[in-house]
Structure 1
């Protein structure tokens, strides 16, 4: 009888210990995926962690690509997708987020769209608005000479003729902003479509660990 009671107490102790370890498990979320790295949010601490490295809370990235990541959390490896909750009771944030790793030339590049048409953007926090050249505008179906307001724009190479227009929508990732001011410049500059402050100021943004993070404001 004493042996049975002892076994019951031992089993209860094991269950309590297991419950305690589950309660203490870090709350982990993947908010960015890149080839060979993932942006982790562990108990509110965000960091870019490369494959083979250990991030906050001892979470290790085993593998990562644009489709998902394998993390080792407290010795257990599992595969997860983007923005998936990793522990009970941890709610996925309602705000939409996008993480952009620094790319070629130390710049931030992101695929997006203007009014549903695909555009490759170069993020430029120094540009007051979204900036396009006349070739971009034609491809996007923007009749800037008709709907735009003419203006003179100062560029690195001098003064250029431009037209101020309003874009129906600009979208990158899951972040979409309606009625975005843009400038169309005559000629081939800028060579890349610039994602400027007329978009960025309407979403939250910051740079941490060479990762640009965008977040919807509501």
Structure 2
């Protein structure tokens, strides 16, 4: 007895796939093969490490900001965006500059202004070689007043407690202005200043009435080393 031929598969019998259901999986795949930093999805920015202050656009541009009398006017507390812990920055006048003791034990001094590289540091995150050191810092161009496009330059000749040395140029630029969203939704307008020495990039959100209200330091190879927002 000859077997009856099987009916051809009907196109309508095939399962239908809703492409919208695949969107979350496509997003995960994209994140696995591309840096998440700055990735725009559906109108918002995804930050891979999460250690980034929340900001929003300003309704009006900020006025140029003149140089303050000291790099840091007062002590303050901040939220660590990597761990959620509270950080403390105890500031004291140090000649024409400032001496700051952080709650993690790191102590540093800085002359001139907030954006200048530190000229001494002790018990800081620098590994066995650079945890403690000092430096000669020379200013080549002032970034003040802060306004779009303003640029500052410094040269730092540093020596560690182990005798290691390096010389690097630091360039800081005002790259924009944003409102920093703080505890309980408070919004603080601030200039955004990016500083790079070729090894690390330091970004400061600098408010006219308070100075630094948010900060982020990123190592070129190791990623985010520090990120906080003032309470």
**What TM bracket, shorter-length normalisation?**
under 0.3
**TM-score, length basis structure 2:** 0.25
* Structure number with higher helix proportion: 1
